C-alpha cells in the first residue's frame, strides 16, 4: 500500500525532504535489532510505501513538490540528488512564480484554480505509479500565506477526485508569539477548510518542538532545520512499517498497562475500542526501544481557542480584511470559519460527557 506525499510551500518542501531522508536512513539502518528476514521485509515494506522504481539504482520518492517560488524547490531537489541515496522524480515538481506577496486568499482563490489542472496531473502521474494506493500525506504550514491557501485548495481537490483514499494533512501550528501578522486569519481559514476535506490532521506545535530542541537536545542556536529534523523523526516513527516475522502486519486491539484506565477516555467509548497498538520487532533509527503516540484528544482545545479568539478580535476591527476580499475571500467566509471552529471547540470540550 503506497502513500503519495504532497509537499506544499516552503514549509512543506523543507519538512518533506527531512521526512524522506529519515525514512530512507531508518530503512537502511544496518542494525535493525531483528532477524535478517524481518529486516528485509521491513525494508521492502518501507520502499513500497514511500519510494517508487529506482533510477540508476537510486530510489525515487513518491512525492509531488509545489511552491510559488523556484528557490526552495531547487534547493530541495539538489539536496536529495546530492545525497546519492534517494531523489525526487524529474517531473514531480510544479513551480509558477507569481506576484501578490504571501497571501492565503491568493493561494486558495487564484493560484489554486489557475494551476489546478497542472498540479492534479502531477499527482495523478504519481498515483499511477502505485500498485495499490493507500492515500495521500499532505505537508504544509497552517499559518503561512500562499502555501497554506493552496494547500487547502489542493486537499479539497484530492477529496473530490480520490474520495475513497485517505487524506492526512500534517500541519505546523505557529509560534504563539507570532511569525506572520495575519497568521491567526490564515490558521482559521486553513483549519476550517481542512476540517471539511481532510480525513485526519496531524498537528505539530512549533513551540513544543522548539522546547525539545532546547531542553532535550541542548541545542543552543536552534535553526529551522533542527526543528524540521525533529518533526521528521517523529513522523518517521509514526509511519514505521509494523511488520511481524510471520509475514503480516502485527496489530493488537487490547490496551497495554496504564492505557487500560477508563478515565483516559470519553465515557461512551470502551478502552478496547479507544486505544490500538501496532508493534514491530524492528528497531527504529538505531533505537533499541521506541514508542510513538498519536492521540485525538482535548489537548488542542486551548491553543485552538486562543487562535480563534485572536482572529476574532482582528476581524471585529476589520484589520487586514482587504488583503483577503480583493482575492475573493469575503467576510461571510470568515464567519463560516469562526462558526465551524467554535463548534469543533464545543464538541471537544464535551468529550467527557
Q: How far apart are CA 69 and CA 90, in angstroms?
A: 17
Nearest Cα to 40, choosing from 239, 241, 251, 235?
241
**pLDDT band of 278, cuts 50, 70, 90:** confident
- Quote the Cα angle for 173-175-178, to 5°: 120
pLDDT at 288: 78
**pLDDT band of 315, cuts 50, 70, 90:** very high
Helices (H), the chain: 9-27, 36-50, 70-83, 104-105, 112-114, 116-128, 146-161, 183-197, 206-211, 224-238, 271-274, 301-316, 322-325, 331-349
Among the listed ranges 46-50, 64-68, 248-252, 333-337, which one has the minimum average pLDDT value?
248-252
Grid coordinates of 76 = 530541495
pLDDT at 250: 42
Averaged pLDDT score across all residues of the chain = 86
pLDDT at 352: 61
Nearest Cα to 87, choosing from 97, 96, 77?
77
Q: Which residues, listed in sequence order, are joined to residue 114 by a DSSP beta bridge? A: none
pLDDT at 245: 37
Amino acid at each position: 500500500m503506497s502513500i503519495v506525499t504532497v509537499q506544499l510551500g516552503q514549509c512543506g518542501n523543507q519538512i518533506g525532504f527531512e521526512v524522506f531522508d529519515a525514512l530512507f536512513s531508518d530503512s537502511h539502518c544496518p542494525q535493525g535489532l531483528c532477524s535478517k528476514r524481518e529486516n528485509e521485509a521491513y525494508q521492502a515494506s518501507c520502499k513500497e510505501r514511500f519510494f517508487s522504481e529506482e533510477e540508476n539504482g537510486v530510489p525515487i520518492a513518491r512525492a509531488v513538490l509545489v511552491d510559488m517560488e523556484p528557490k526552495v524547490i531547487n534547493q530541495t531537489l539538489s539536496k536529495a540528488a546530492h545525497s546519492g541515496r534517494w531523489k525526487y522524480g524529474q517531473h514531480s515538481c510544479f513551480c509558477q512564480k507569481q506576484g501578490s506577496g504571501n497571501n492565503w486568499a491568493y493561494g486558495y482563490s487564484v493560484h489554486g484554480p489557475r494551476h489546478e489542472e497542472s498540479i492534479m496531473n502531477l499527482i495523478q502521474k504519481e498515483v499511477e505509479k502505485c500498485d495499490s494506493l493507500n492515500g495521500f500525506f499532505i505537508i504544509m504550514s497552517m499559518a503561512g500565506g500562499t502555501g497554506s491557501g493552496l494547500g487547502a485548495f489542493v486537499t479539497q481537490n484530492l477529496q473530490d477526485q480520490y474520495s475513497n483514499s485517505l487524506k492526512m494533512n500534517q500541519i505546523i501550528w505557529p509560534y504563539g508569539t507570532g511569525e506572520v501578522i495575519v497568521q491567526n486569519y490564515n490558521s482559521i481559514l486553513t483549519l476550517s477548510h481542512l476540517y471539511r476535506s481532510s480525513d485526519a490532521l496531524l498537528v505539530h506545535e512549533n513551540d513544543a518542538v522548539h522546547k525539545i530542541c532546547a531542553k532535550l537536545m541542548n541545542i543552543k542556536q536552534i535553526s529551522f532545520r533542527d526543528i524540521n529534523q525533529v518533526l521528521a523523526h517523529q513522523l518517521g516513527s509514526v509511519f514505521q512499517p509494523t511488520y511481524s516475522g510471520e509475514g503480516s502486519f502485527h496489530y493488537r486491539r487490547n490496551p497495554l498497562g496504564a492505557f487500560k484506565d477508563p478515565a483516559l477516555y470519553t465515557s461512551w467509548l470502551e478502552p478496547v475500542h479507544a486505544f490500538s497498538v501496532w508493534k514491530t520487532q524492528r528497531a527504529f533509527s538505531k533505537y533499541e526501544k521506541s514508542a510513538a503516540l498519536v492521540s485525538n484528544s482535548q489537548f488542542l482545545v486551548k491553543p485552538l481557542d486562543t487562535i480563534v479568539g485572536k482572529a476574532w478580535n482582528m476581524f471585529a476591527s476589520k484589520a487586514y480584511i482587504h488583503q483577503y476580499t480583493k482575492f475573493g475571500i469575503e467576510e461571510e467566509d470568515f464567519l463560516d470559519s469562526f462558526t465551524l471552529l467554535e463548534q469543533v471547540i464545543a464538541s471537544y470540550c464535551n468529550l467527557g460527557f
